[in-house]
Chain A
Amino acid sequence: MRRATAIVLAAALLVTAATAAAEVRIGVLMPLSGKGAAYGIHQEVAMKMALEELEKSHIKGETVKLIAYDSRGDNTEAINLTRKLIHTDRVLAIIGPFFSAECEVAFPIAVQGKTPIITASSAKPGVAAKSRPWAFRNALTSDKLNGPLVDKWLAGNKGQIKTVVILTDVKDAFTKADGTLVFPAVLKAKGITVLDNISFQTGDIDFSAQVTKVKGLNPDGIVVAGLYNEGGNVVREIRKQGLPQPIAGALGMSEPRFVEIAGPAAEGVLVVNPFWPDNPAPRIKKWVDEYKRRANAPPSNTAALMYDSLHIMKGCIEQAGVTNKPDDLGKDRERIRECWAGLKDSPGITGTISINADGDAVLEPTVLVIRNGRYESLR
Chain B
Amino acid sequence: MLLQQLVNGLMLGSAYALIAIGYTLVFGVLKLVHLAHGEVFMVGAFVGLQIVLWFGVGAGVALLGALVGTALLGMVIELVAFRPLRARGAHFLAPMISTIGVGIVLQEVATKVFGAEQVGFPHRMEAVTFHLGPVTVTSVQLLILGTSVVLMAALHVFVTRTALGMAMRATAESLLTARLLGIKTNGIILLTFAIASGLGGAAGVLIGLSFNAISPFMGIDIGVKGLAIMLVGGLGNIYGAMAGGLILGIIEILSVAYLASSYRDAFAFALMILILLFRPQGLFGSAYHVEG
B262 close to A170 (CB less than 8 A)? yes
- Chain A residues whose C-beta falls within 8 Å of the C-beta of B221 in the assembled complex: 203
- Chain B residues whose C-beta falls within 8 Å of the C-beta of A261 in the assembled complex: 118, 120, 212
User: Is residue B131 within 8 Å, beta carbon to beta carbon, of the partner chain?
Assistant: yes
B123 close to A33 (CB less than 8 A)? no
A206 close to B211 (CB less than 8 A)? yes
Q: List 23 A-B contacts (CB under 8 A).
A: A33-B111, A37-B115, A199-B260, A199-B261, A199-B262, A205-B212, A206-B12, A206-B211, A208-B8, A208-B12, A208-B253, A209-B5, A209-B8, A212-B1, A213-B256, A232-B212, A233-B211, A233-B212, A240-B127, A240-B129, A242-B129, A257-B117, A261-B118
User: Is residue A163 within 8 Å, beta carbon to beta carbon, of the partner chain?
Assistant: no
Measured in the bound complex, the distance between the Cα atoms of B254 and A175 in whole Å is 24
Residues of B whose CB lies within 8 Å of any CB of A are 1, 4-5, 8-9, 11-12, 111, 115-118, 120, 123, 126-127, 129, 131, 136, 138, 207, 211-213, 218, 221, 252-254, 256-257, 260-262, 264
Q: How many chain A residues touch B (Cβ–Cβ < 8 Å)?
A: 31
Q: A229 touches which one: B5, B8, B118 (CB < 8 A)?
A: B118
Chain A residue with minimal CB distance to B136?
Answer: A241
Measured in the bound complex, the distance between the Cα atoms of B114 and A37 in whole Å is 13
0/1 per residue, A201-234, Cβ < 8 Å to B? 1011110111011011000000000000100110
Which of A200, A209, A213, A229 has the most B CB atoms < 10 Å from its CB?
A209
Chain B residue with minimal CB distance to A209?
Answer: B256
User: Is residue A64 within 8 Å, beta carbon to beta carbon, of the partner chain?
Assistant: no
Measured in the bound complex, the distance between the Cα atoms of B256 and A212 in whole Å is 10
User: Is residue A150 within 8 Å, beta carbon to beta carbon, of the partner chain?
Assistant: no
B213 close to A37 (CB less than 8 A)? no
- Chain B residues whose C-beta falls within 8 Å of the C-beta of A232 in the assembled complex: 212
B11 close to A215 (CB less than 8 A)? no
B212 close to A236 (CB less than 8 A)? yes
Chain A residue with minimal CB distance to B254?
Answer: A209
A212 close to B117 (CB less than 8 A)? no
- Chain A residues whose C-beta falls within 8 Å of the C-beta of B8 in the assembled complex: 206, 208-209, 212
0/1 per residue, A246-286, Cβ < 8 Å to B? 00000000000100010110000000000000000000000
Chain B residue with minimal CB distance to A266?
Answer: B123
- Chain B residues whose C-beta falls within 8 Å of the C-beta of A206 in the assembled complex: 8, 12, 211, 252-253
B116 close to A37 (CB less than 8 A)? yes
- Chain A residues whose C-beta falls within 8 Å of the C-beta of B12 in the assembled complex: 206, 208
Measured in the bound complex, the distance between the Cα atoms of B256 and A216 in whole Å is 14
Shortest Cβ distance from residue B42 to the other chain A in the assembled complex, whole angstroms: 12
Measured in the bound complex, the distance between the Cα atoms of B207 and A105 in whole Å is 35
B213 close to A233 (CB less than 8 A)? yes
B120 close to A212 (CB less than 8 A)? no
